[in-house]
Amino acid sequence: MLRTEIDGIKIDLDEKMSILEAAKKAKINIPTLCYEDGLSIYGGCRLCVVEVEGEELLKPACATEIKAGMKIKTHSKKVRELRKNLFELIIATHNIDCQLNCLTCSRASNCELKEIAEDIGVSKMRLEPIKRGDSVDNSSYAVIREPEKCISCNRCIRKCEEIQSIGIFTTANRGPETVVTTFKNRGLGNVECTNCGQCILSCPTGALHELYQKDIVLDILNDESKHVVVQTAPAVRIAISEPFSNQAGDIATGQLITALKRLGFDAVFDTNFTADLTIMEEGTELIERIKSGHRLPLFTSCSPGWIKFIEHFYPEYLDNLSSAKSPQQMFGALAKSYYAREKGIDPENIVVVSVMPCTAKKFEAKREEMAGDVDYVLTTRELASMIKSAGIDFLNLEKSEYDELLGVSSGAADIFGTTGGVMEAALRTAAEIITGTELKKIEFEKLRGLEGIKKAEIEIDGLKLKAAVANGLGNARKIMEMIKAGEEFDFIEFMACPGGCMGGGGQPISCDDNILEKRQKALYKIDKNKKLRKSHENPYIKKLYDSYLENPGSEIAHKLLHTKYKA
Ligand code: HC1
C-alpha cells in the first residue's frame, strides 16, 4: 500500500502509477498537452509539472512515479508561474496566431489549447508568435496538415506509430525549430499514410483535419439541375448528436434523417442497405472459398484504411481480400444504376454524397478502381458543422424514416459500425445459408467487445470456422504476422480504426474507450430493437436481386459491386 498526499488529500494506492494518474484518482485535474491516454509518455510539454516536497526541481506528473510518503502540490505559486511561462513559449515558438485563425479553425468550438489556457489561468500572452511561413500540406485526398498550427506535442507521431504501427510522421530540426513533418517533407498524400485520420483525433490544435467538402456539397444542394442523394454510414447515427449534447451513446437516426432532409437532400438513404448487400456478396464468396479451399483466409474489404495498409505492407496477400466493394461504394454504384432506372432519372444528374465516420472514405471515393460511384464524402464532424450553420436545432428535431428502395436495413447492418460487427453479420447469414435452418441464437458474443484482437472457432453444422477480428492497424499487423508465421484462419474482419468505424477519424474529436463503449452499446441496442436482424431477410435486398441483380455473385453484381485492388 502506498500512502501519499496530493494537495492535502491523503491517498492510499495499491499499485504503482504516475503522479498524474494518482491525481486523477483523487479527482484533481493537472493540465496536460503532450500526454494522451493509451500513448507512451513523451514528457515534452512539461505543463503537468508539480511540486514534490523536499525536491528542488518541479517534476512532470506524467513521467514521475508516485512513491510512498510523497507530498505533492499540483497548483502552488511556483507551479502555476512555470506553467504560464511554458504555455506562452509553446504558443509563441510554434507559430499559432489564434487571434487571426480562431474563427476559421477546425477546432474553434472545442479548442484544447483554450481549455488548457483556462486551466492554467493564462490571462494575457506577452510573446508575439513567430511566423515561419510553412505551407499547408494539401497532398492527400483525406487529411490536411497545417504546420503553422502544430505545437510539436508529438501525439500524432505516437498515435500513428504506436497504435496504428505506420509511423508516417517524424520530427525535423532541433529546439524551438523542431517541426513535425513526413518523410522528406513529402506530404501525406505521398507517403504510406492510410488516411485513417486517427492523428486528427489526437491533434490538440487543428493542425490536422479532414479535407473539407462541406462547402461544395452545400453549393450542389442549391443546384436545381442535380438530384442529390445522401447515404449515412452505420456509425454516424450513434455519434452525430455528440457535438450538440456533449454526451456519447445517444441514438439519433431519426433526427439525422430529418436534418439531412432539412439541408435539402433529394433522397436520404442508408449505407446499411448496402451493408446488407455486402453480406450477400461477401458471404457468397466466403462459402465458395470454403468449399474450394482456395484463397483462405478471406479478409473483409470494407475499411479503406485497411485496404491501403495491406497494399503498402502485405501486397502478397491482396488476393485474400474479398472482391466485394465496400458498402459505401456499392451504394454509389446502385444509386447511379438501379435507383436511377427505378426513378427514371438520368444518372448523369445524380450526385451521391456520403456521410461517414471515416476520413479514408474520402480517399476510397477517389480510387481509380471505382471512381464515379460516390461524388463527395463528408465526415460526421463536417455534417454536424453543416447542421449548426443551417440553424437547425438538432436535439429537438422530430424523427423521420429513411427513403425506401435503398433505405431499409437489418440490425446486422447496424453492427457493421463496431469492431466484430461485420463478422457477426456475415455469420448470421452464412450459417443459415449453409445449414438451411434458422439460427437459434444470432448473437456471437465471442466476437463482441473492444479488445484489439478476438479469435473464435465457430461451428456451423459440423463445419469448423476459424475466425478472427482485428481493430486498429497495429492489431491488423499482428494478425498478418501470425498468418505469415503459419497460423491458420478462415475468415478475418479487419477495421483500420480502434473500435472499428465508430472510432473512425471523422467522428467527433473526443474518443476514448469510455466513449467507444457507449457508442458500441448504442449500436447493439439498435440491432436488438429491430425486427429485421439478418441481411438475407431484408425484403428490399430480395427485391433488388429479383428485379435487377439476379443473384449474389452474378455477372451484373460483379460488374457493379466488386473490384480488384492492385499493389
Ligand atoms: Fe464503416 Fe462500412 S461499417 S466501413 O466502418 O462497411 O466508414 O460506419 O460505412 O462502406 O456499412 C465506415 C461505418 C461504413 C462501408 C458500412
Instruction: Tell me how far apart the alpha carbons of residues 41 and 164 are, in angstroms, rounded to a whole number.
Output: 17
d(CA 328, ligand 1 centre) in Å: 7
Residue at 421: amino acid letter: G
What would the mean pLDDT of 489-502 be, rounded to a whole number? 98
Cα of 417 from ligand 1 centre, angstroms: 6
Place of cell 509518455: 41
Strands, E assignment, 173-331 = 179-182, 208-210, 227-232, 267-270, 298-299
pLDDT at 452: 97
Ligand 1 atom with minimal separation from the 328 CA: 10
Is 282 one of the annotated active-site residues of the chain? Answer: yes
Evaluate: CB of 31 within 6 angstroms of ligand 1: no
- Does the annotation count 177 as an active-site position? no
Q: Work out the mean pLDDT of the chain and round it to a whole number.
A: 95
Is 501 marked active-site? yes
Question: What pLDDT does residue 73 have?
Answer: 97
The residue whose C-alpha atom lies closest to atom 9 belonging to ligand 1 is 233
Q: For 380-385, what is the mean pLDDT?
A: 98
Annotated catalytic residue 311: no
Substitution site in 302, 307, 325 for ligand 1 pocket (most atoms within 8 Å of beta carbon): 302
What is the structure's pLDDT at 566? Answer: 76
* Mean pLDDT, residues 29-39 taken together: 96
Residue pointed to by grid coordinates 474482419? 493
- Evaluate whether 142 touches 363 at the Cβ level (below 8 Å): yes
Q: What is the pLDDT of residue 102?
A: 80
* pLDDT tens digits, one per residue of 265-277: 999 999 999 999 9
User: 277: Cβ below 6 Å to ligand 1?
Assistant: no
Average pLDDT over residues 39-59: 96
The span from the CA of 98 to the CA of 112, in Å, is 12
- Edge-to-edge strand list for the sheet holding 267-270: 267-270, 227-232, 350-356, 376-379
Tell me how far the alpha carbon of residue 419 lies from the centroid of ligand 1, in angstroms. 11
Element (H, E) at 351: strand 350-356
The region of weakest confidence among 67-81, 94-108, 338-352, 519-533 is 94-108
Task: Give catalytic status of residue 368 as yes or no.
Answer: no
Concerning whether 369 is annotated as a catalytic residue, the answer is yes
pLDDT of 225 over the 80 cut: yes
For residue 446, give the C-alpha cell. 465471442
Q: Whose CA is nearest to atom 14 of ligand 1?
A: 233
pLDDT in tens, 286-345: 999 998 988 999 999 999 999 999 999 999 999 999 999 999 999 999 999 999 999 999
Note the pLDDT of residue 440.
Answer: 87
For this structure, is 281 an active site residue? no
pLDDT, tens only, 536-554: 999 999 999 999 999 999 9
Give the ligand 1 atom nearest the CA of 495.
Answer: 5
Per-residue pLDDT band for 146 (boundaries 50, 70, 90) equals very high
324 Cβ below 6 A of ligand 1: no
pLDDT of residue 11: 92
Ligand 1 atom nearest to CA at 233: 9
Which of 159, 214, 361, 454 does the annotation list as catalytic?
Answer: 361
* 232, 309, 321, 358: residue to mutate for ligand 1 pocket, most atoms within 8 A of CB: 358
For the Cβ of 252 lying below 6 angstroms from any atom of ligand 1, the answer is no
Rounded to 10 degrees, the C-alpha dihedral 335/341/344/345 comes to 30
| 267 ligand 1 Cβ < 6 A | no
CB 6 within 8 A of CB 26: yes
Does the C-beta of 377 come closer than 6 Å to ligand 1?
Answer: no
- Nearest atom, ligand 1, residue 360 CA: 7
Q: What ipTM describes this predicted complex?
A: 0.94
Residue with the smallest CA separation from ligand 1 atom 15 is: 327
Instruction: Using pLDDT thresholds of 50, 70 and 90, give the confidence band for residue 126.
Output: confident
Phi, psi of 292, deg, nearest 5: -85, -20
Output the CA 358–ligand 1 centroid distance in Å.
8
Q: Is 21 a residue of the active site?
A: no
Query: For 78-124, what is each residue's pLDDT tens digit?
Result: 999 999 999 998 888 777 777 677 888 888 888 898 899 888 988 87
Q: Is the CB of 417 under 6 A from ligand 1?
A: yes
- Rounded to an integer, the average pLDDT of 274-288 is 95
Q: Please, which pLDDT band fits residue 175 given cuts at 50, 70 and 90?
A: confident
pTM summary value:
0.96
Is the CB of 354 inside a 6 Å radius of any atom of ligand 1?
no
What confidence score (pLDDT) does residue 218 get? 97
Asked if pLDDT for residue 130 goes beyond 80, the answer is no
Please report, for the chain, how many H helices and E strands are present, in that order: 21, 17
